[in-house]
Amino acid sequence: DVKVTQSSRYLVKRTGEKVFLECVQDMDHENMFWYRQDPGLGLRLIYFSYDVKMKEKGDIPEGYSVSREKKERFSLILESASTNQTSMYLCASGSDSNQPQHFGDGTRLSIL
Amino acid sequence: EDKVVQSPLSLVVHEGDTVTLNCSYEVTNFRSLLWYKQEKKAPTFLFMLTSSGIEKKSGRLSSILDKKELFSILNITATQTGDSAVYLCAAATGANSKLTFGKGITLSVRP
């Protein structure tokens, strides 16, 4: 079974802080993705990575950056957290276009 | 801009009813259409559809894709309270199968 693990289920941070969300997958997948999920807006893609050290912007990259130093780990970074970044963050991984993405349990992030 | 639209946005039914959930898409470089079920935590994968007209089935759930009319449906027969969830539809596009999601359909099944 594919396992995608996000480091925290709940996180509370303050405005202006630098925030790191970590995601690890155990299936040697090339592709990893970060989404945020908001009521009424659904899941929206922030960034994705198709290889180590490679990244591409998704639909809403502003205010975020990512890091992929190892194949199994993909980090989402909020450089200076703001209240409009309060959301549920979901990480996913996938092997190729013929296989579905698998999701982690999500991190509910609150920025105060 | 890639777009996926699901309808209805919410639905309340009684146990034993049959429901049909709709998903239409307008995307470039389409590869596949995926359905996920989301309860409290991670979306869990249900179906991946790449060919038109071929029904995929898993127990009481089934799904089909129409690539000419650009839509898919998810059917659930003999609904149970455990089917209560948000059902997500997503279109996969491009070489990396980037997903564009609809807003989700909230299904509530009453006893």
pLDDT in tens, B74-110: 999 999 999 999 999 999 988 778 899 999 999 999 9
Residue A2 has pLDDT above 80, yes or no: no
What the block records as the tokens of A102 is 């698998």
Sign of the dihedral through C-alpha B24, B28, A48, B48: positive
Contact A40 B31 (CB under 8 A): no
pLDDT band at A97 (very low <50, low <70, confident <90, very high): low
Of B41, B99, B101, the CB nearest to A106: B41
Integer Cα distance of B76 and A42 in angstroms? 22
In sequence order, the 6+-apart residues with CB closer than 8 A to the CB of B97 are A31, A94, A96, A97, A101, B31, B32
Residue A96 has pLDDT above 90, yes or no: no
E-strand spans in B50-84?
56-58, 61-66, 71-76
Amino acid identity of A19? Answer: V
Phi, psi of A25 (to 5 degrees): -125, 150
Map tokens 């239409």 to a residue. B24
**Which of B34, B88, B96 is the mutation pick for testing A, counting most A CBs within 10 A?**
B96
Each residue's pLDDT tens digit, A20-74: 999 999 989 999 999 999 988 989 999 999 999 899 999 999 999 999 999 999 9
Contact B103 A40 (CB under 8 A): yes
